[in-house]
Structure 1
């Protein structure tokens, strides 16, 4: 069956397309062979118009699916601007038109009595029977639970239903008809019968599990009627491969990305506002600090009582001194001669080799045991042999890891240690570790929760707003403060304070005179509040916008509750957003569920992110709220703030959760470099300059000379004005839309890689001998032919001189190259990266790359040091693999199979780990060493085997590596 005729082909856009919109229309062919178009573009970049133009180009009846009603309304408005008649566009599922816009939920509803819930109840019954109940008893117990504790019953059903949905999503799409609500099936029938042949999937990153299968089913039904079922997927953020089956469903539908519009390109073309990323650091307030101090004391007491005992110290010793491997007598060749016994090693060297074996067997555990031994028994003989650079301060994670392993390996096996096992088990539970006889399971860590929901972050919101208000553009500030929830269910056992969430931070803003003057408003799905001073004015403004009465409730201290009878979320959100645009409200507080994806308020220019999100989808959607152009401020610049709560240096307890979240969050975001304001990069370097990052590293390392206040002063000192940021983006200037991976290395002036004489000396003796013999022979022939009577000494001198000339002449190019490297050490790093590329190509790991795909950028720092950035171009997967290999080569040595040793006459030998992708096969590693020998200079390839290999590995691990450290890896755009 051919699709019904449609007049979408007559739709016209009379405006001017953006560069990337034109490129998409030119580069993605109509009616692609795989019947799918997959486009990634940031919020505010014009995806709606682009999707409509792609659908109109196909000329077929079209269905647009959106995740929310608000987004659905945006599509309808834009479509009617293009259509020749408003009747061509519909959002009514009972009245389908040439282009119909519906929500995903309309297609995927399963009804009041979901078959998944029925299956979940049956599964629960089976589990109870397996646990020893009769079937009748199990059914009675579930029925009783459903009445006596409905919430717990629903949680159990939801948990099992979710698992069943995920498994069901892996079956054939046609089978989904069994679980869809009859109304959803009837709607799908109408869509197919209406001749829909193009499906536009807005915010298609939502197509995981159930929704993906519904779309696949709809497409299959369309194809059964003889149509194509073209899919046009539009999203600002790709889902993660960590989503497992859901990600597979997504990629099976839409395939690879056909075109990606990077956020910087949209900013440079002037269609999104320029922006900066900032970070504000804080530390727990006294009540929270008391809880953390109590945890610190508990952990210290646990270490003293368990690991400082003779049994604990014995365990640490045994972990660091595993037995050497011995030949199994039963499998040894009886006819083979017995090898002579190895000479006995001095006790100290024997102990060092034991440590080497432990690191090779389980690097993480051995390093943690060494660090803990230094803390628990600093006078133990092994401590003198532990390299402080490797066995650093025992972190909280080190202690918890060692305590858990000790409990499993020593206490659980000993019936007499049952009480101690229970003591350790209970103590570890306080840190979110559940110790069982099957191993360790991570649960909710109260320490991490305390930091994530600290009230200090709410106070940081006031600090940030004060700073923004005192800037040159303070009068233009329109801020949104976003939290995870309205009010968290628990406050970590702390008493006397409000629960974390939007309500708590709003109350704080309303009680501070400076922020209360901004007329803050709290807006969530169930709450609308403002200050007592502004309540009447806000209520009147909302009445005018909504055309309905707004009630002000009395008796809430500094705040008032506003009631808007009969209004749903969409219109109320739009009305409050209008107050922000007008400047009546300058601070809006809410949750990411309402003020995240789909919320549109172009006047907002400051985001204060108090959420715990770090995924690519959530992070980019939230940051996108501030990037829309503001018609009232042509020079708008957005500031996006992350707030991080850290344990101060004077507290020995550690928690990496906040900093890890910050780093993961910024790894998804493009931004201007804080060091070089002309570069667009990803990573924390876009928020913190090098000096601030170094200070942060020192603070995390518990340097007593650092503090949170000093860190924030460094942050403030590095902030550029909004006008400077606007100029830094160089909007309207030409740009190259490309991505490159970058690996930064430290100042190279004193590295053993830069050599002159050793490179020249390779093969010199042989060349000298050959040159001397040749010169001597020519001299003898010439003297005989010309009847010269040369003295013996003169002939020998001529021979030796000739040998020197030949040897030196053959080495002049190497000498010149070595001198150039000495003058500009960056050359050797570029050559090294290029030979890594060639080795990977020759090993078949990556396709061919020209030498120009690897470049080096040299930058002089204010302190006189040199910073090198190795820059890699090419397809994303290829350049990332190459950058990974170079980062491994120059990074700290851990557990490689092969090492390169570079000898130096004046400095200790340098050791480099042969990258894993090259060291998989011996032949590839040997080829890499040969390339090094030719391009860089003398080296020795060492395969780390046996006791001797451990000795070499020990020396290699003692080196810190060539990487810059914090900020060593990033991605560069442009």
Structure 2
């Protein structure tokens, strides 16, 4: 039987409302599990089902001990305290609700980052990082033994210290992650995280609520297992709407997650929530748009640059170039294949060369044949199977360009070769291929960006909102979600996409061009400011000032008039995302504004606004 402290510590603190049927069912299971001595609980419930109230009810009415709530972002962090103040009887102890780790209270709501932040510098991990780097080179057959691997690393340091430092940082992080995974998590934490944990321990935390706990698959999960032990093994309640799928995540991470929580203790059924009118049924709709003519032309012509890249790499530096320049791709391949030279040293035989880098051996010979070049001495001709392989030009050339960049240009003593390597890497990124320090991997291609941030999407958005306004009338509450406040999408697609295409600011400006949509009085929530439709400012700004005064926050507002809208910026120590997100959400709920534009970082996971009836997703997920 669990012994709970129900005496003077918590007095008359309790839930002041009525639980929903799903919350009654969940809390009944939790109460029984606690009585049976369970200390780690996991509840799965869909968005909007009342997970926050459930967690707070467990705190006030079941466990009744100081609680720590951890959330993935500051918007969710503030919602926990707001719900506690709004719906719970706190017996005059509202001042003991905290959102800072420096002064924990009876309920302390923080972000995961605040208690898991690692040390900023890892110089002390260099010996282990170097050993890991050496072993990695040997495992990937880029070196035959430790001596070759260390020679490869030292040569990289001497020829290109920027790349060397990047790789060293990578292996430092791997060492740090390994320390965390094997019980040394607190050792690698930042001093501020350690101070927060010490303060929480002194506060006597008896309950940890992990909101959106599916995030505990990686670094946060590795650290929090030790945090739980450090805090004296308090009760842990995990809440999530999206438990991890074992087929989509790393096996080791999933095993750690399930070991931490065990089986799901209760899963709230969606049909029951809809039946009880606590969750609205919804319908997914897709709106297909056609790219603009400039966008279509760009997509159609994007392949031409690959041929130009091959010409640039093959022709070499020319007769007037400095002597330490690398030869062109064709001559470099002849030299590498003929000498069997790899960054880790010369292979003892062709078979050894082929074992260490089969792609270079096979693709290099095929390329030379297609170029009409003879095989270097002692290099065998490709066999029938290799000759019959249906390799496109791109499939053939990408491994060769990758090796030419990493093994040749980037290791050259010539700064001009380094510049050519960067040029080639940028060109490959146009085709969705990124050259890293260890090889190639897929990346976002500009064609994908053009489709994701097409001008047609913004035009369609106005039509969608105009249609919904006709259906919903004054009750409409629309939310537009984008990837970012501003995008740098034009960096790789200049003269194709508008400046800031796809960003929240561009979407907001587009809405103001529609006379009908303008009547929604749209606002844009950014990371630090609020953009407001000019018609709304006389009504919104006084409400914002009144809200700040009511919450006793230290904030003053600056109002800047722009072209058709205003930029309102808050100044003061309390102008932080968790406060202004809550303020604007409440004003949206009331209908002061009927349309919010924002990023998925602010309006995504865990953001709570029950009046939404139109959601338009403009993120790349929908492309």
TM-score bin, normalised by smaller chain: 0.5 to 0.7
Between Structure 1 and Structure 2, how many residues are aligned? 487
Q: Please say if 1:593 is aligned against 2:601.
A: yes
Alignment-derived partner of residue 407 in structure 2: none
Alignment-derived partner of residue 632 in structure 1: none
> Per-residue CA shift, 1:366-419, capped at 9, x if unaligned?
xxxxxxxxxxxxxxxxxxxxxxxxxxxxxxxxxx9755456699999xxxxxxx
Alignment-derived partner of residue 592 in structure 2: 584
Q: Please say if 1:611 is aligned against 2:619.
A: yes
Secondary structure of the structure 1 residue equivalent to 2:489? coil
Judging changes above 3 Å, is the alpha-carbon distance between structure 1 residues 280 and 502 closer, same or farther for their aligned structure 2 residues? same
Q: Please say if 1:106 is aligned against 2:114.
A: yes
How far off is 1:537 after superposition? 4.5
Matches within 5 A, 1:808-819: none
Q: Name the CA distance, whole Å, in 2 between partners of 1:153 and 1:587.
A: 49
Judging changes above 3 Å, is the alpha-carbon distance between structure 1 residues 21 and 192 closer, same or farther for their aligned structure 2 residues? same
Q: Name the CA distance, whole Å, in 2 between partners of 1:26 and 1:612.
A: 41
How far off is 1:586 after superposition? 2.2
Q: Does the 8 Å CA contact 1:519/1:586 hold for their aligned counterparts?
A: yes
How far off is 1:180 after superposition? 2.2
Alignment-derived partner of residue 444 in structure 1: 444
Two-structure CA RMSD over aligned residues (Å): 4.4
> Per-residue CA shift, 1:93-115, capped at 9, x if unaligned?
455555544443332234xx524
Q: Please say if 1:560 is aligned against 2:566.
A: yes
> Per-residue CA shift, 1:16-37, capped at 9, x if unaligned?
3322222223334333565311
Alignment-derived partner of residue 510 in structure 2: 508
Q: Does the 8 Å CA contact 2:68/2:209 hold for their aligned counterparts?
A: yes
How far off is 1:526 after superposition? 3.2
Choose from 281, 294, 298 the match for 2:288: 281
> Per-residue CA shift, 1:638-692, capped at 9, x if unaligned?
xxxxxx5xxxxxxxxxxxxx3xxxxxxxxxxxxxxxxxxxxxxxxxxxxxxxxxx
Alignment-derived partner of residue 489 in structure 1: 488
Q: Does the 8 Å CA contact 2:527/2:577 hold for their aligned counterparts?
A: yes
Judging changes above 3 Å, is the alpha-carbon distance between structure 1 residues 169 and 457 closer, same or farther for their aligned structure 2 residues? farther
Q: Please say if 1:180 is aligned against 2:189.
A: yes
Q: Which runs of 5+ in 2 are unaligned?
A: 135-148, 310-389, 403-423, 550-554
Alignment-derived partner of residue 569 in structure 1: 577
> Per-residue CA shift, 1:242-283, capped at 9, x if unaligned?
342443332221122121113332222111233222111112
Q: Which runs of 5+ in 1 are unaligned?
A: 146-151, 303-399, 413-423, 614-643, 645-657, 659-974
How far off is 1:79 after superposition? 4.4
Judging changes above 3 Å, is the alpha-carbon distance between structure 1 residues 183 and 507 closer, same or farther for their aligned structure 2 residues? closer
How far off is 1:201 after superposition? 1.6
Choose from 16, 32, 41 the match for 2:45: 41
Q: Does the 8 Å CA contact 2:77/2:110 hold for their aligned counterparts?
A: yes
Q: Please say if 1:525 is aligned against 2:527.
A: yes
Alignment-derived partner of residue 56 in structure 2: 52
> Per-residue CA shift, 1:324-348, capped at 9, x if unaligned?
xxxxxxxxxxxxxxxxxxxxxxxxx
Matches within 5 A, 1:151-300: 162-172=173-183, 175-222=184-231, 229-241=234-246, 242-244=248-250, 245-295=252-302
Q: Name the CA distance, whole Å, in 2 between partners of 1:205 and 1:579.
A: 30
Secondary structure of the structure 1 residue equivalent to 2:620? coil
Q: Does the 8 Å CA contact 2:186/2:227 hold for their aligned counterparts?
A: no
- Higher alpha-carbon Rg: 1
Judging changes above 3 Å, is the alpha-carbon distance between structure 1 residues 42 and 9 closer, same or farther for their aligned structure 2 residues? farther
How far off is 1:84 after superposition? 6.0
Secondary structure of the structure 2 residue equivalent to 1:599? coil
Alignment-derived partner of residue 466 in structure 1: 466
Alignment-derived partner of residue 933 in structure 1: none
Secondary structure of the structure 2 residue equivalent to 1:470? helix
> Per-residue CA shift, 1:416-475, capped at 9, x if unaligned?
xxxxxxxx9999864324799x9974333222222122221111211211211222x233
Alignment-derived partner of residue 26 in structure 1: 28
How far off is 1:132 after superposition? 5.3
Q: Does the 8 Å CA contact 2:69/2:107 hold for their aligned counterparts?
A: no
Judging changes above 3 Å, is the alpha-carbon distance between structure 1 residues 535 and 63 closer, same or farther for their aligned structure 2 residues? closer
Alignment-derived partner of residue 610 in structure 2: 602
Secondary structure of the structure 1 residue equivalent to 2:69? strand
Q: Does the 8 Å CA contact 2:129/2:174 hold for their aligned counterparts?
A: no
How far off is 1:160 after superposition? 5.3
Q: Name the CA distance, whole Å, in 1 between partners of 2:123 and 2:282.
A: 46
Q: Does the 8 Å CA contact 1:61/1:98 hold for their aligned counterparts?
A: yes
TM-score by length of 2: 0.66
How far off is 1:589 after superposition? 1.2
Q: Please say if 1:61 is aligned against 2:65.
A: yes
Q: Does the 8 Å CA contact 1:479/1:606 hold for their aligned counterparts?
A: yes
Q: Does the 8 Å CA contact 1:9/1:59 hold for their aligned counterparts?
A: no
